[in-house]
Structure formats: C-alpha cells, structure tokens
C-alpha cells in the first residue's frame, strides 16, 4: 500500500477523521481518539495492537515499539512494505476497533448529537432553497 491507499483505508472507517499534527504526522481519529498516525515526509505508520500482536510484530524487520506509545502496545512500521497489504489493513482495522471500543459513552453520545444536528441542518438548508 502507498500513502494514498493507507489514507483512503483509514478514512473509510465509520466516524474516522484526519488531522495534520506534529509537522508531518497525519493522525487518524475516531471520536477524537487516535487510531493511526501516518508520517508523510518520512513515510512510516503507527498503530495500536493487542499485546500478543505487539510482541509478534516487533520481532519483524522494520517494525519497532512506537516512541512514547510503545508501552501501550503501539507499533511503528518504518516502511509501509514491512507488512503485506492484507496484514497492514488488518493492523489498521484492529487498531480502529480497539480505540473505538474504548471511547467513553458520554463522548459517543455527544458525538452522535453533533452528527444529528449537522444532518438536520443540512436537511433544513437543502429544503429551504427556492427554485430558480
């Protein structure tokens, strides 16, 4: 996978957002909680994984514990080709699912209210247009 494919895959998850942070880091978030970080200048990918998967992955070439986040089972791929495409997608999906499952319910409800309000505003705006 290349940078554009990784970005498209991350953004394909429900409620996924992206934000450029820390210079060249494109952070992918679900309800404001980070699930993947894609380095753009120096291409690399950071994701959360289970403790078992973490132990397995850091034994592979070009994969190491992520600086600052490694103690929380985040890995850094120094190059996207460190995993096959199917493995890379699986890693991103698992990271997304783990992070999304831990988002506090209050935040989920607040985000749902924001989404409903935005949807309602779009519908109202669409219905208020006069024909030409």
Residues 6+ apart with CB under 8 A from 99: 30, 33, 34, 35, 48
Dist CA 35 CA 100 (whole Å): 8
Which residues does residue 64 pair with via DSSP β-bridges, in sequence order?
Answer: 76
Q: Is the pLDDT of residue 108 over 90?
A: no
Dist CA 5 CA 21 (whole Å): 20
Confidence grade of residue 95 (pLDDT, cut at 50, 70, 90): very high
- What integer pLDDT is reported at residue 1 of this predicted model? 85
H helices, E strands: number in the chain: 4, 6
Q: Is the pLDDT of residue 105 over 70?
A: no
Q: Is the pLDDT of residue 122 over 70?
A: no
Which residues does residue 34 pair with via DSSP β-bridges, in sequence order?
Answer: 29
- Region 76-87 average pLDDT: 90
The per-residue b/e assignment along 12-51, b for 16 or more CB within 10 angstroms, e otherwise, is ebeebeeeeeeeebbbbbbbeebbbbbbeeebbbbbbbee
Dist CA 13 CA 17 (whole Å): 9
């Amino acid at each position: 996978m290349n940078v554009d494919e990784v970005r498209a895959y991350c953004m394909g998850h429900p409620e996924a957002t992206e934000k450029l942070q820390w210079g060249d880091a494109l952070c992918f978030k679900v309800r404001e909680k980070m699930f993947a970080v894609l380095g753009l200048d120096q291409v690399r990918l950071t994701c959360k994984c289970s403790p078992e998967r973490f132990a397995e992955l850091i034994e592979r070439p070009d994969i190491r514990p992520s600086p600052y986040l490694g103690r929380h089972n985040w890995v850094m791929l120094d190059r996207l080709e460190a995993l096959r495409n199917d493995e890379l997608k699986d890693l991103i999906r698992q990271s997304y699912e783990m992070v999304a499952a831990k988002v506090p319910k209050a935040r989920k409800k607040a985000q749902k209210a924001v989404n409903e309000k935005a949807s309602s505003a779009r519908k109202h705006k669409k219905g208020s247009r006069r024909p030409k």
